A and B are shown apart, each in its own frame.
Chain A
Amino acid sequence: MVIELIVNILLLGFSFYCFWYVGATMPASAVNELGAEQWPQGILILMIIAIIYNIFKFFKKNKKEDIVSAFHAFPADVAGFFKSKLFIGMVLVVIMALCYEPVGFMVTCFVFLMLYGFLLGQRNVGLLVVTSLLITIILYVGFSVFLGVMLPRGQVSFLRNFALFVESLVPTF
């Protein structure tokens, strides 16, 4: 409940900022011309109206006491979220995206599959290692070698050499 209100308020603030920003940074248009700034400004006006209505509906739908108690419970909910599987999952996805190019596909994929699989409740480490390795090889060889999709080999020399070594094992067509 609280997060919904916060997101709406942030969106409203962002919309006002964008409205000002686009007006300040774009060249002014002639009176009979639909300029580069007017289309986004038109969208933003509609968005601001819709968000204000949505916030109004939020307060109309929820009782005052419920909102107050939700705000009281919010810090505990936030603390709970940071300890949840979901948050760890989100962090893993972001770290994986950041490591994708510097570390290379193969290592990133293998480690990510292992860690996310463990997070989702797979406690059989042997199975995790085997399936992660197998899936990494299938994806890398399938896409990079057979379908010719460029996948990052990594910017660290030994990781790059390892990727090239794996590629050299597969016959080219």
Chain B
Amino acid sequence: MELLTSGLAVVFQPTMFILIVFAVFLGTLFGALPGVSATMAVTLGIPFTYKMDAVSAIAFLVAIYCASITGGGMTAILFKIPGVPSSAPTTYDGYPMAQKGEAGKALGMQLVCSAIGGMFAAVCMLVLSPQLTQAALSFGPSELFAISFMGLSILTSLETDNICRTIISGLLGLLLACIGLDPLLGVPRLTFGTRLLTSGIEMIPVMIGFFAVTEVLKQTAKPSKLQAVGGSGNMSAKLPTLKEFLSVKWIVARCSVLGTIIGILPGAGATIASFLCYSTEQKLSKHPEKFGTGCFDGIAAPETGNNAATGGAMVPLLSLGIPGGNAAAIMMSALVLKGVTMGPLLLVDQPQFLSATFASMFVSNIIMVFAAIVIAKVFVQILKIPYSILGPTIIMMATIGAYATKNTAVDVILMAVSGLIGFLFAKCKFNSSAMILGLVLGVICESNLRRAVTIAEGDTLFAAFANLAARPVTGIVLIVCVVVLVWPVVKPMIAKKKENK
């Protein structure tokens, strides 16, 4: 209760409340713009947080994150183009409803379900995070290594039809994290004799480059044009009637739980949650044939699921200091920049991080409904902003974010170079998300493993590793990691064998 009141006290401070309302509008707008993903929305929100304290910064970024996931559903319904990848299943039923002239109703259902999913996940986060933190407090370096390795073990699941390249990308991220002063010995490593690399690769400019500049370059190479259903008229969201909402109540309940659980799993995130919720509900439905033709069930399931995943993704970040996905990784970098030490002690020493995140999520999800209704009214007009104006503006906002990290133009150059490399990466079908995951988790993984090996005291390195794996929690988590890592590789092989038989 104390946590709850302290969180609400932070959020309802006049300045903070205005900032959250602003963040919700910004997030909804960014999420709704095709080509601006939720991750990019959070990235573009970073420059706004430089003068905020750490608690306000996380509350602000969380509001942008939640709102951008919801905003993505709007383009999915009106244009059949998901604003964010997690809104892709919303197109299956949202767009057919819009074609039938029921775009307003579809938008209304999407907003209500998103808000409920988001609020449910926020409550789960408030309840689960302290429990997980308590458990994590008894962990030593070996357990912390195992947990951070779990974050890396999902590399093979990120893109199951492109596993090899995804692994290379993740390993490249881990290698980049090695650049700079060694975390234990303090000697320069992989700096190639240049002083510029001694402090390591700054994460925020790299992320901004990969997620913002690369996307604009992609649009430069292949511009896409949008055509809304219903032409250029105004669109207004109609909130569902009680009867309409009651028809999807069990779907909302199931998908809230499922989405939150998936969000907690490192790397799984909102996209997997929305697809899984859609397919689960289709299987459970008495009328599966209605899915894909424009029904409320097909909108309620993915939209509840993807917003519930946002709250779930914050659980490992706040309680263990392990980001569950790209957006969480960016939030983590923003906090680290402010001198916050991530890890289990965060919530013990500064519980206001959890309470502020919860309150921000809860309040944002409510404000979001009204913000989206307002934005929907002028939505078609907003999307008329030509990309020739929007694209360069995104790059300039990105440069502000990169420059303000340390007030040095080197970071802007790093951002530009990262953007070019990101584009080359995309061309060669490497996975940028995997690389960022490796970059963020690299230092945590390495320093904990090396400390754990020293504590394990083996006669040889192999004996030290054996002692380390013999610890119960470490051993179990590492087994889970191996299964998660190997399963996507083995699964198609088993399926192929079965087919041959």
Q: Which residues of A approach B to under 8 Å, CB–CB?
A: 3-4, 7-8, 11, 18, 21-22, 25-27, 31-34, 36-40, 43-44, 46-47, 50-51, 53-54, 57, 84-86, 89-90, 93-94, 96-98, 100-101, 105, 109, 112-113, 116-122, 128, 131, 135, 139, 143, 147-152
What are 12 A-B interface contacts by the 8 Å CB criterion?
A4-B429, A11-B168, A25-B189, A27-B187, A43-B175, A43-B178, A46-B167, A50-B164, A120-B391, A128-B388, A131-B389, A147-B48
Closest to B217 in A: A89
Q: Are B416 and A96 in contact (CB under 8 A)?
A: yes
Residue of A nearest to B222 (CB): A86
A3 to B423: give the CA distance in the assembly, Å: 12
Given contacts A43-B178, A147-B50, A149-B50, contact A22 B400 (CB under 8 A): no
Residues of B within 8 A of A47 (CB): 168, 171-172, 175
Q: Which residues from chain B contact A57 at a C-beta distance below 8 Å?
A: 164
Q: Given A7-B428, A22-B189, A32-B458, do A116 and B168 touch, yes or no (CB 8 Å)?
A: no
Q: Across the interface, do B450 and A93 meet the contact criterion of CB distance under 8 Å? A: no
Complex interface: chain A residues within 8 A of B400 (CB)? 105, 139, 143, 149, 151
Q: Nearest Cβ in chain B — how far from A69, in angstroms?
A: 19
User: Within the assembled complex, what's the spacing in Å between the Cα atoms of A98 and B424?
Assistant: 21
A121: contacting residue among B50, B223, B397, CB under 8 A? B223
- Interface residue B140 (Cβ < 8 Å from any Cβ of A): no
State the CA gap A25–B221 with chains docked (Å): 42
Instruction: Please classify the interface of chain A as helix (H, G, I), strand (E, B), loop, or mixed, using the class held by over half of its residues.
Output: helix
* Ranked 4 nearest A-B pairs via Cβ: A101-B409, A122-B388, A120-B388, A97-B416
Q: B110 at the A/B interface (Cβ < 8 Å)? A: no
Inter-subunit contact B178/A39 (CB<8 Å): yes
Q: Nearest Cβ in chain A — how far from B301, in angstroms? A: 36
**Complex CA distance for A168 and B405, rounded to whole angstroms:** 25
In the complex, which residues of chain A have a beta carbon less than 8 angstroms from the beta carbon of B184?
36
The answer on a CB contact under 8 Å between B185 and A44 is no
Main secondary structure of the interface of B (DSSP, over half): helix
Least distance between A114 CB and chain B CB atoms (Å): 8
Q: What residues on A are CB-neighbors of B464 within 8 Å?
A: 32, 34
Query: How many of chain B's residues touch chain A, expressed as a range?
Result: 35 or more
Taken residue by residue from 375 to 386, chain B's Cβ proximity to chain A (1 for < 8 Å, 0 otherwise) reads as: 000000000001
Give the shortest distance, in Å, between A105 (CB) and chain B (any CB).
Answer: 8
A100-B399, A117-B392, A151-B400 as given contacts; A3 in contact with B187, CB under 8 Å: no
Most chain A beta-carbon neighbours within 10 Å: one of B392, B399, B460 = B392
Contact (Cβ within 8 A) B174 A43 = yes
Measured between beta carbons, the chain A residues less than 8 angstroms from B403 are: 100, 150-152
Instruction: Name the interface residues of B173-227: CB closer than 8 Å to any CB of A.
Output: 174-175, 178, 182, 184-185, 187, 189-190, 192, 213, 216-217, 219-221, 223
**A36-B187 in contact (CB<8A):** yes
- Tell whether, in the assembled complex, residue B175 and residue A112 are in contact, meaning their CB atoms are under 8 Å apart: no
* Residues of B close to A112: CB separation below 8 A: 392, 395-396
How far, in angstroms, from A112 to B219 measured CA to CA in the complex?
17
Give the residues in chain A near B387, CB-CB below 8 Å: 120
Are B51 and A149 closer than 8 Å at their CB atoms?
Answer: yes
Contact B168 A97 (CB under 8 A): no
A18 lies within 8 A of B190 (CB): yes
Complex Cα spacing A40 to B312, Å: 32
Smallest Cβ-Cβ distance to B165: which chain A residue = A54
Residues of B within 8 A of A43 (CB): 171, 174-175, 178
Q: How far is the CB of A25 from chain B (nearest CB, A)?
A: 8
CA distance A105 to B221 in the complex (A): 26
A93–B413 CB distance below 8 A:
no
